Amino acid sequence: MPSRESTKADKTELNLRRNPVCAILARERMSTAPFQSSSPNDSSPGNDKPVVDPFAGLLAKATYHSSGIGTNLSIRLDRTPDVLVLRIVGTSSDSLPETFTGAVEQVLRGMRPPFAAVDLTGSQSLPSVILAFLVFFQKNAELNGTRKVVLYGANSRILTVIKMIGMLDFFVIKPDEAAMRQHVADATAAR
């Protein structure tokens, strides 16, 4: 009789073959870095075996770092069980490369997360480049089935900019990560 681990690996491989999106993403991934499964279907005690995440490579591509004179910016996508979180730290006036924005678009299209959020706790200002990227992120998330993107951790300066350009209704605004998670829990319960 096959072991539980080999059966699980066989099922994962079979699912990758049956689901064309997962198969494409698995081929495109840059790494096969495992993640700890946090799936509600995988809640058996002591089950901490790594599972290959078909989105690991795309998430790795959806990371951007830039530093230089007047620029110190880091943007990355983090996947949690219930929310895809875009974390923005720093600021930049440089345009974002198409390879990065394309990878973000692929992640949104492939994962189709029900909820997406933007963590602005590491940002002190919102230059036009980042503002344009937030609009891009919201529109692509919406096209792929995500509800309104939740912005959280924005300081008063960022909130003033969002208000001045008339985008308060474009996003759901929450003060911190706990409030964002509560919003997601409430919205999930209301489904």
| H-run or E-run covering 130 | helix 128-143
| Residue 174: both structure tokens together | 């929450």
Distance separating alpha carbons of residues 18 and 28, to the nearest angstrom: 17
Express each pLDDT in 25-43 by its tens digit: 344 333 333 323 333 344 4
Q: Residue 13: pLDDT above 70?
A: no
| Residue 27 backbone phi and psi in degrees, to 5 | -70, -35
Listed residue (133, 124, 135, 132) closest to 159, CA to CA = 124
Among 18, 36, 56, residue at a domain's last position: 56
Distance separating alpha carbons of residues 181 and 170, to the nearest angstrom: 19
pLDDT > 90: percent of the chain: 30
- Are residues 43 and 108 located together in one domain of the fold? no
State the Cα torsion 43-47-50-53 to the nearest 10°. -10
Express each pLDDT in 84-121 by its tens digit: 999 999 888 778 888 888 989 988 888 888 899 999 99
Contact 25, 58 (CB under 8 A): yes
Q: What is the pLDDT of residue 181?
A: 94
Q: In which residue are the tokens 């110190």 written?
A: 72
Q: Domain containing 146 — which CATH number?
A: 3.30.750.24
Write down the mean pLDDT value for the chain: 75
| Residue 185: both structure tokens together | 């829990």
Q: What is the pLDDT of residue 59?
A: 67
The whole-number average pLDDT for the span 13-26 is 44
- Are residues 22 and 98 located together in one domain of the fold? no
Q: Residue 81: pLDDT above 70?
A: yes
Q: CB burial class (10 A; 0-12, 13-18, 19+) of residue 25?
A: buried
When comparing pLDDT for 63 and 175, which is higher?
175
- Are residues 49 and 131 located together in one domain of the fold? no
- Are residues 116 and 167 located together in one domain of the fold? yes
When comparing pLDDT for 29 and 175, which is higher?
175
Global pTM value: 0.68
Characterize 51-76 residue by residue with b for buried, 16 or more Cβ atoms within 10 angstroms of its Cβ, and e for exposed: bebbbbbbbebbebeeeeeeeebebb
Q: Domain range spanning residue 159? A: 65-190
Q: CB burial class (10 A; 0-12, 13-18, 19+) of residue 37?
A: middle
Contact 163, 157 (CB under 8 A): no
Contact 111, 143 (CB under 8 A): no
- Are residues 85 and 163 located together in one domain of the fold? yes
Q: What is the total count of domains within the chain?
A: 2
